[in-house]
Amino acid sequence: MKSLVPKCPWPLLLLLLLLLLLPLKPQGDYWDLYEYEIDPEVRDYLRELYSTGPTKPPTKERIKEKILADPDRPLYDDNYCNSELMSRNIHYRRLCYPEHYFVTESYSDLQKACYGQRVRCKNSATFCRRSMKLAKGIQCTLVAGKKIPECLYQSIFVTGYAVVTCQWDNDSEEFIPNNVVNILVPK
């Protein structure tokens, strides 16, 4: 007569028993009940910070916040990049940007750049346009750190033509500037 007890090693049996005793985790991305007890702006910030899904399409307000320099603050501050990038929450999934630009142009002038002269792009951008007139700006170059809040930037003050990447906005049916990828200094 054969035995009903399987001939398995003990560690395998213990592993199977542990798997059966562990509580099941629900599938899907959900937030616990405490999410609804916090401020909606903080909740949205946390969702965006820790999300792994596609990024939101750029809006006019986000572009203004991300690209345009603060008009009330002088540009010639050595700590400009460190404080502005941190206070404006500019990062990519908590990683420091290796380089970022702020310009003093108005949003309408930057939008006109989307219809300006086509120029060679820097880094991985594929289609860039140059602004029509000279603008003052700041080039923020990463010096140290990989994740926020350890990012340390060098602020370099530049006057030149802003080079922008643009994206079509279905709501307004026009091109909007997506990012400033360089500031070309005239020769």
Whether the pLDDT of residue 102 is over 80: the answer is yes
Whether the pLDDT of residue 128 is over 80: the answer is yes
pLDDT band at 53 (very low <50, low <70, confident <90, very high): low
Whether the pLDDT of residue 153 is over 90: the answer is yes
pLDDT (0 to 100) of residue 144: 92
pLDDT (0 to 100) of residue 27: 47
Is the model more confident about 29 or about 145? 145
pLDDT band at 138 (very low <50, low <70, confident <90, very high): very high
Q: Which of 4-13, 30-39, 143-152, 163-172 has the highest mean pLDDT?
A: 143-152
pLDDT band at 105 (very low <50, low <70, confident <90, very high): confident
Q: What is the mean pLDDT of the chain?
A: 79
3-class DSSP string for the chain? CCCCCCCCCHHHHHHHHHHHHCCCCCCCCCCCHHHHHCCHHHHHHHHHHHCCCCCCCCCHHHHHHHHECCCCCCCCCCCHHHHHHHHCCCCECCECCCEEEEECCCHHHHHHHCCCCEECCCCCCCCEEECCCCEEEEEEEEEECCECCCCEEEEEEEEEEEEEEEEEECCCCEEEEEEEEEEECCC
Is the model more confident about 57 or about 140? 140
* pLDDT tens track for 54-94: 556 667 788 888 888 887 777 777 888 888 888 888 888 88
